[in-house]
Amino acid sequence: MRTRTIITMLAVCAFLAAPAYGQKYTYKDSRNYEVVTLGVGTDGTKVFKIYVTEKNEKKAIALAKKAAVEVCIFRGLPSAGAVSGTPALCSSSDEQKHSAFFENFFTPGGQYLRYVNITSDGVIPEQDKIKVKGGYKIGLIVQVMYDNLRNDLQDAGVIRSLNSGF
């Protein structure tokens, strides 16, 4: 009887302690991606292919949208062929200063979705779906409304306007 009570108490403690090990979602969780710049779209948009690793296609599409906006804000776009690179909109000091803004901006279903479109119609070609450990590495062509993103970040006071430095 005593052994049964001890085992029951240990099990209860284990179940109560389990939520303490849960991880909080942050906007920096999706920073494992690769980018290939494809070109500049019309009306201030950038078009590029982004590779993300996720367990299934549905999660990969959601992560690709988020990562595409993160690339424009925090990393910038690399140059490729005839397309010149684009610097990041936000410096690392701005990122730290406005971390509360970015936490809210990148919440699931957040404001970042206004600036990104998946141009592959939700159908992922087989050559862009690679089986890797832990899921699939999936490449999606995305279009980011870069000028609108820049203007809205300036209006929010997160980044300085282009003419404020002179």
On whether residue 73 sits in a domain, the answer given is yes
73, 68, 106: which is closest to 92 by C-alpha? 73
Instruction: Please state whether the predicted TM-score (pTM) of the whole model is above 0.85.
Output: no
- The count of other CB atoms within 10 Å of the CB of residue 66 is 22
On whether residue 17 sits in a domain, the answer given is no
On whether residue 13 sits in a domain, the answer given is no
Helices (H), ranges, 1-113: 2-17, 57-70, 92-97, 99-105
pLDDT of residue 16: 61
On whether residue 86 sits in a domain, the answer given is yes
Q: Are 68 and 74 in contact (CB under 8 A)?
A: no
Q: Are 64 and 138 in contact (CB under 8 A)?
A: yes
Distance CA 145, CA 52 (A): 20
On whether residue 2 sits in a domain, the answer given is no
pLDDT of residue 123: 74
Q: Are strands 33-40 and 129-132 parallel, antiparallel or unpaired?
A: unpaired
pLDDT of residue 93: 83
**Domain of 120, in residue numbers:** 25-165
pLDDT of residue 17: 60
On whether residue 20 sits in a domain, the answer given is no
**What are the pLDDT tens digits along the chain (166 aa)?**
788 888 887 766 666 665 554 444 444 455 678 898 888 888 889 999 999 988 888 888 888 899 999 999 999 888 888 888 888 898 888 888 988 999 999 998 889 999 998 887 667 888 888 888 888 899 999 999 999 999 999 998 888 777 665 5
Contacts 24+ apart (CB under 8 A), 155-162: 156/101, 158/90, 158/94, 158/98, 158/101, 159/89, 159/90, 159/94
Count how many domains the chain has: 1
